[in-house]
C-alpha cells in the first residue's frame, strides 16, 4: 500500500513538472510548435500514404486491364493455342495470365500460375472488371482483372492478375522514411521556434530589466527599442511613451507642489511677521493691523487654498456641477458691477439676454476670474460682451493691456503661469485663475480662445452650448 502511494505521488510530481504553465514561454512555444508539426505530419503523411497507395494500385489495375484487352484482341484473331508468348509473360506488375474455356478448363496460362482459375467464373461478365480478389487457393497477393469474350473460335474468359506485393513494399518503405523523418522535422521546428521566441523575448527581457532599473530619480531613462517594426518594437515605443507621460506627470506634480508652497509662503510670512510684531509690541496690535495686514493675507491664503482644492478635485474626478437654467447676461452684469466698486478702470458691458443650461456659481466664478485677470493687466478700459450665435452662448472679456504673445496663449491656462510674475504677484494673482476658467469651460463642453483686441490688448472669448448639461462625472 505504501509503495503504491509513493508511486502515485511520484507520478503526480512528474505530471506537475510537465504542466505547460510551469514552463517558460519559449519552452511552451517550442512544445506547441512541435506538437502542431507532429499532428500536421501525421495527418498529411496518412493522407499522402493513402493517395500514394491508391495511385500505385490504380497503376497495377490499369496494367492488368490493358493486358486483358491485348489478350482479348489476340483471341479474336487466333486460337488460344496460337497466342503469342509475350501476351502470357509476367513482369513487375503482371503476376499471372489465364485463358479459360467456357467449361472452366484453363487453355493457356503463365508459367508461374496453377491450372485453377484465379476467380470464380460466375463472377466474370462481358464487361471488364478490375480489382477482383483471387480465390483462397491462389498463391500470393493479387488483384485480378477479368472479362468474358465471345469469338468465332468460341467463348473464353481472360484473367490477368496484377501483383500488389511490390506496391505494399513501396508504400511500406515510404512510411518508414516518413516515420524516420518526422522526429527530425518536429525537433527542427521545435528548436527553431524555441530559438526564435528566446531571441524575441530577449528584447522584452531587456525592456523589463530597464524598467525595473528606472527609479523616480532616474525617470529620464527609457527602454531600448529593438530594430524593426514588429510588435516588440511597438511595445517598446508604447512603454517609452508611457514613461514620458509619467515623467511629465512627476515634473508637473513637483512644479505644482513647489509653486503651491511658494504661493502659500507669502501670506503666511506676512501673517507671521505681523503677529511677531504684535507679540514684541502689543501696543501695535490694533484694528488697523488686523484690517490692513492680517485679514487681507488670510483672505488671500484662503482663496489660494480653495483654488488648489478645486483643481485637485478636478484632477481626481472632475468638477461636480449642478446644472440649471441661468441667465449669463445677468451673471456678467452682476460681476461687472462688483468690479466697478474696486477697479479704477472703465468697465463697459454690452449684454444681450442669453439663457443657457449650466452651473450658476461655476459660471459666476468663470466671469469673475476673467474680469480680475483683465483688471490686473488693463491700462484704462475693460469691455465685456455677452451674446449668442448658432446655439452657443458667447462671452468676451477684452482689456487694453499689453496683450499676450501668440506663443503664450495656450500656456496661460496652465497652473501658476504668469507672463509678468512680479506684477501679478503684487496684484494678488496666484496664477490659478485662468486654470480654473479652463476647467469650468471644459466641464460645460465649451471652448475658450485668446485673440488680439482691436486697438491693442487681449480679448478672451468663451463659447458654451446653450442647451448643454454639464457633465458631473468629468
Which residues partner with 97 through β-bridges? 160
CA distance 224 to 203: 8
Task: Please write down the long-range contacts of 38-44, taking CB distance under 8 Å and 24 or more positions apart.
Answer: 38/182, 38/186, 41/178, 41/182, 41/185, 41/186, 42/182
Specify the pLDDT at position 387. Answer: 93
Share of the chain above pLDDT 70, in %: 81
Specify the pLDDT at position 423. Answer: 39
- Examine the pLDDT at 428 and tell me if it is beyond 80: no
Spatial neighbors of 103 by CB under 8 A, at least 6 apart, are none
Residue 117: strand, helix, or coil: coil
Q: Of 420, 406, 328, 327, whose CA–CA distance to 373 is shortest?
A: 420
Query: Per mean pLDDT, which range of 122-131, 310-319, 328-337, 360-369 is the poorest?
Result: 310-319
- How far is residue 382 from each of residues 151, 336, 350, 398, measured CA to CA in Å? 127, 10, 11, 6
Specify the pLDDT at position 474. Answer: 43
Mean pLDDT confidence for 422-430: 46
- Examine the pLDDT at 13 and tell me if it is beyond 70: no
Specify the pLDDT at position 365. Answer: 85
Higher pLDDT, 34 or 6: 34
Higher pLDDT, 219 or 58: 58
Q: Of 355, 329, 362, 361, whose CA–CA distance to 466 is shortest?
A: 355
CA distance 67 to 73: 10
The whole-chain average pLDDT of the chain stands at: 80
**Where does the chain hold its CATH 3.30.565.10 domain(s)?**
318-465
Specify the pLDDT at position 472. Answer: 43
Share of the chain above pLDDT 90, in %: 14
Specify the pLDDT at position 422. Answer: 39
* 126-135, 143-152, 328-337, 423-432: which is most confident: 328-337
Grid cell for residue 16: 506537475
Mean pLDDT confidence for 425-439: 68
Whether the Cβ atoms of residue 444 and residue 332 lie closer than 8 Å to each other = no
Higher pLDDT, 124 or 112: 124
Specify the pLDDT at position 382. Answer: 93
Specify the pLDDT at position 348. Answer: 93
Pick the CATH number of 318-465 from 1.10.940.10, 3.30.565.10, 3.10.20.600, 3.40.1160.10: 3.30.565.10
Q: Is the pTM of this model over 0.75?
A: no
Mean pLDDT confidence for 125-143: 78
First to last CA, the chain: 68
Q: 75-118 pLDDT, tens per residue?
A: 888 888 888 888 888 887 888 888 888 888 888 888 877 788 88
Grid cell for residue 416: 501658476
CA distance 140 to 56: 18
Q: 270-325 pLDDT, tens per residue?
A: 778 777 777 777 776 777 767 777 777 777 677 667 767 776 666 666 666 778 89
Mean pLDDT confidence for 331-336: 91
Specify the pLDDT at position 241. Answer: 84
Spatial neighbors of 352 by CB under 8 A, at least 6 apart, are 329, 386, 387, 388
Amino acid at each position: 500500500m505504501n509503495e503504491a502511494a509513493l508511486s502515485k505521488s511520484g507520478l503526480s510530481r512528474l505530471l506537475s513538472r510537465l504542466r505547460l504553465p510551469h514552463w517558460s514561454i519559449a519552452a511552451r512555444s517550442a512544445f506547441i510548435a512541435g506538437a502542431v508539426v507532429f499532428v500536421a505530419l501525421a495527418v498529411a503523411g496518412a493522407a499522402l500514404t493513402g493517395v500514394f497507395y491508391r495511385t500505385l494500385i490504380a497503376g497495377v489495375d490499369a496494367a492488368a486491364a490493358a493486358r486483358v484487352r491485348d489478350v482479348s484482341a489476340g483471341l479474336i484473331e487466333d486460337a488460344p493455342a496460337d497466342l503469342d508468348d509475350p501476351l502470357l509473360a509476367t513482369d513487375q506488375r503482371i503476376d499471372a495470365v489465364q485463358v479459360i474455356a467456357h467449361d472452366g478448363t484453363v487453355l493457356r496460362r503463365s508459367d508461374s500460375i496453377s491450372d485453377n482459375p484465379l476467380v470464380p467464373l460466375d463472377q466474370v461478365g462481358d464487361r471488364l472488371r478490375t480489382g477482383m480478389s483471387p480465390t483462397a487457393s491462389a498463391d500470393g497477393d493479387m488483384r485480378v482483372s477479368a472479362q468474358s469474350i465471345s469469338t468465332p473460335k468460341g467463348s473464353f474468359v481472360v484473367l490477368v492478375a496484377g501483383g500488389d506485393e511490390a506496391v505494399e513494399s513501396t508504400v511500406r518503405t515510404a512510411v518508414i522514411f516518413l516515420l524516420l523523418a518526422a522526429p527530425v522535422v518536429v525537433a527542427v521546428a521545435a528548436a527553431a521556434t524555441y530559438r526564435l521566441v528566446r531571441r524575441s523575448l530577449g528584447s522584452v527581457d531587456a525592456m523589463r530589466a530597464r524598467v525595473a532599473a528606472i527609479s523616480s530619480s532616474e525617470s529620464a531613462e527609457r527602454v531600448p527599442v529593438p530594430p524593426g517594426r514588429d510588435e516588440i518594437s511597438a511595445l517598446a515605443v508604447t512603454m517609452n511613451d508611457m514613461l514620458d507621460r509619467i515623467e511629465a506627470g512627476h515634473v508637473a506634480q513637483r512644479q505644482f507642489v513647489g509653486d503651491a508652497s511658494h504661493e502659500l509662503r507669502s501670506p503666511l510670512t506676512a501673517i507671521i511677521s505681523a503677529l511677531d510684531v504684535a507679540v514684541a509690541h502689543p501696543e501695535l496690535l490694533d484694528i488697523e493691523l488686523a484690517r490692513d495686514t492680517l485679514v487681507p493675507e488670510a483672505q488671500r491664503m484662503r482663496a489660494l487654498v480653495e483654488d488648489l482644492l478645486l483643481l485637485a478635485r478636478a484632477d481626481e474626478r472632475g468638477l461636480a456641477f449642478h446644472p440649471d437654467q441661468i441667465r449669463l447676461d445677468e451673471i456678467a452684469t452682476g460681476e461687472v458691477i462688483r468690479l466697478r466698486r474696486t477697479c479704477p478702470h472703465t468697465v463697459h458691458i454690452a449684454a444681450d439676454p442669453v439663457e443657457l443650461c449650466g452651473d450658476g456659481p461655476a459660471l459666476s466664478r468663470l466671469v469673475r476670474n476673467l474680469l480680475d485677470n483683465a483688471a490686473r493687466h488693463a491700462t484704462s478700459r475693460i469691455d465685456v460682451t455677452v451674446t449668442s450665435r448658432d446655439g452657443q452662448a458667447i462671452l468676451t472679456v477684452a482689456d487694453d493691456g499689453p496683450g499676450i504673445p501668440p506663443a503664450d496663449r495656450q500656456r496661460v491656462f496652465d497652473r501658476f503661469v504668469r507672463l509678468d510674475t512680479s506684477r501679478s504677484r503684487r496684484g494678488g494673482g496666484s496664477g490659478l485663475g485662468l486654470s480654473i476658467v479652463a476647467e469650468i469651460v471644459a466641464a460645460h463642453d465649451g471652448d475658450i480662445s485668446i485673440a488680439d483686441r482691436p486697438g491693442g490688448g487681449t480679448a478672451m472669448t468663451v463659447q458654451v452650448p446653450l442647451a448643454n448639461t454639464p457633465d458631473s462625472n468629468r
